[in-house]
Amino acid sequence: MTLQFDFIIVGAGSAGCAMASRLSEDPRNRVLVLEFGGTDAGPLIQMPAALSYPMNMPLYDWGFESDPEPHLGGRRLATPRGKVIGGSSSINGMVYVRGHACDFDTWEEMGANGWGYRHVLPYYKRLETSHGGQNGWRGTNGPLHVTRGTKWNPLFHAFRDAGEQAGYGVTEDYNGERQEGFGDMEMTVHKGRRWSAANAYLKPALKRGNLELIKGALVRKVLIENGRAVGVEFETGGKIREARANREVILAASSINSPKILMQSGIGPADHLQDMGIEIVADRPGVGANLQDHLELYLQQACTQPITLYKHWNLVSKALIGAQWLFFKQGLGASNQFESCAFIRSKAGVRYPDIQYHFLPFAVRYDGQAAAEGHGFQAHVGPMRSKSRGRIRLTSGDPRGKPSILFNYMSHEEDWEDFRRCIRLTREVFDQEAFAPYRGKEIQPGDHVQSDDALNDFIREHVESAYHPCGTCRMGSKEDPMAVVDPECRVIGVEALRVADSSIFPQITNGNLNAPSIMVGEKASDHILGKDPLPASNQDPWINPAWETSQR
């Protein structure tokens, strides 16, 4: 039996959940969501402090990794993507960053008309309920709850104070008027639980009779007849089935899987599709191109006082934290522990921040591995706007095959210069008076690593992905041969098919990508439904008045 719907959404991730909710608000719209992953029930996903577990579990993660990266000594870097309802919002670090106002004005300059900051700010306000954000700049009754930590550890305050002592400004809300400066980090946590797109949007919407979710569904291709998307072919329980869309098919399957599904459907670079034995429907060379990501380093310092999370790195402590969270949704388990942060500019002449910091009162890897010997603290730091670009390609015509992912990290000389500057600026912050009561030896890179060459070696060996892949179905004008979707997210050259997720970003935004991905789902919903966009904002974001002559 063929399934018949008005809209089919592929992927129950950050953008897909938002669209499922908005498109099903009208009871006349029958909406189907297809998700390859399964349920997000259970403490490992719902408990914020357990964030390092789900991204390393094949149950919840697609398990992608990059091809050997030529500029990183042939290292393969992990590329986790959520394979679960909520998508990557169910396995990420829960950090909430809208991006800088200038990011979206840049999108508009790159051909994404109607996606400037004045256009997207109303959608950010619509999607969020901000707890403690700046009045007038933040949403107060949206589905996504955004909160701040308790800053239980004095090191959170030390980081902010050290930034101020080093001559940087303080921002009371980096998601408000002013991003630049040191301040409190925000997280998608509500009442002690991970507030994923599934919790915020999908689960409430599934109570409606006109929205259906099929889990365990691997989408093989979009069905296209006479240049129009009419449905999808998917595999579930070992059977291949079809679902038909009377109105539109929308891909929201991630910056890795959305271009992969387009190529499997015959939409992509013609020569590559021919090599894979796939019939060409639309020659779009931009599909799978323009791949971007953020890289980061963990700069670690020993702590002379026994106050860091290291004291809880044992089974008894973990059990107590888990029990407190399980019964009361409180305590250390209710935070992602990223409670202080900063956005700074790397040098004079840079108009808006191009370096991001996450601060953590613990010396540990993001994936929860290799805790340092003893007490320490660390800053995750990395440049925001690398010029390096990579690509996604198919490895075979088989929809079950893993794609070839090459980020081409650090392929620009500027990338190396930027990272060396990140390390030196961070050392300067850690050297401030605010850290004097806590500062031990530098664990990583180590005091002996000072010259450009020594820093380059450290970077090559230790740089990690921040897990922010995007850009592979770039939005732009119809005349742009490398654009994949137009500014209403419609795939150029195919009717009734859209892409709406982080793959449409023309350029990567400042900071973590969950917030802008959800915003894309919100804004795309209005385009899909043919609604007038929300009225543009006339609010003016803060830009450092001395940006041309001063670094801080």
Residue 237 pLDDT exceeds 90: yes
Q: Is 436 annotated as a binding residue?
A: no
Q: Is 20 annotated as a binding residue?
A: yes
**Which strand (E) or helix (H) includes residue 148?**
strand 144-148
| pLDDT at residue 248, rounded to an integer | 98
Length of the chain: 552
> Quick check: pTM over 0.95?
yes
Whole-number Å distance between alpha carbons of 181 and 496: 44
Q: Is 212 annotated as a binding residue?
A: no
Cis bond upstream, residue 143 (ω within 30): no
| pLDDT at residue 75, rounded to an integer | 98
Q: Is 389 annotated as a binding residue?
A: no
**Sorting pLDDT into bands at 50, 70 and 90, what band is 366?**
low
Residue 372 pLDDT exceeds 70: no
Residue 373 pLDDT exceeds 90: no
Q: Is 474 annotated as a binding residue?
A: no
| pLDDT at residue 371, rounded to an integer | 62
pLDDT in tens, 504-536: 999 999 999 999 999 999 999 999 999 999 999
Maximum alpha-carbon separation in the chain: 70
pLDDT in tens, 275-296: 999 999 999 999 999 999 999 9
Residue 370 pLDDT exceeds 60: no
Contacts of 63 (CB under 8 A, 6+ apart): 80
Cβ neighbours of 204 (radius 10 Å): 12
Whole-number Å distance between alpha carbons of 552 and 548: 10
Q: Is 281 annotated as a binding residue?
A: no
| pLDDT at residue 364, rounded to an integer | 83
SS3 (DSSP) at 33: strand
Q: Is 429 annotated as a binding residue?
A: no
Residue 454 tokens read as: 């020594």
pLDDT in tens, 381-423: 999 999 999 999 999 999 999 999 999 999 999 999 999 999 9
Residue 368 pLDDT exceeds 70: no
**Which strand (E) or helix (H) includes residue 483?**
none
Q: Is 229 annotated as a binding residue?
A: no
Q: Is 302 annotated as a binding residue?
A: no
**Sorting pLDDT into bands at 50, 70 and 90, what band is 448?**
very high
| Domain architecture of the chain: domains with CATH | 3-63+79-528 (3.50.50.60)
Residue 146 tokens read as: 């955004």
Active site residue 380: no
Q: Is 8 annotated as a binding residue?
A: yes
| pLDDT at residue 367, rounded to an integer | 62
Residue 93 tokens read as: 């670090």
Q: Which of 254, 256, 517 is nearest to 406 (CA)?
A: 256
What's the mean per-residue pLDDT of the chain?
A: 96
**3-state DSSP: the chain helix, strand, coil percent, rounded to 5?**
30, 25, 45
Number of H helices, E strands in the chain: 13, 25
Q: Is 364 annotated as a binding residue?
A: no
Q: Which of 444, 286, 432 is nearest to 372 (CA)?
A: 444
Whole-number Å distance between alpha carbons of 243 and 233: 7
- Where is average pLDDT lowest: 163-172, 285-294, 314-323? 314-323
Q: Is 316 annotated as a binding residue?
A: no
Query: Which residue is catalytic, options 100, 145, 294, 468?
Result: 468
Beta strands in 188-238 (DSSP E): 189-190, 193-194, 211-215, 218-225, 228-236
pLDDT in tens, 19-48: 999 999 999 999 999 999 999 999 999 999
Report, as an integer, the average pLDDT of 361-379.
Answer: 79
Whole-number Å distance between alpha carbons of 411 and 460: 12
DSSP structure class, residue 10: E
Report, as an integer, the average pLDDT of 131-144.
Answer: 98
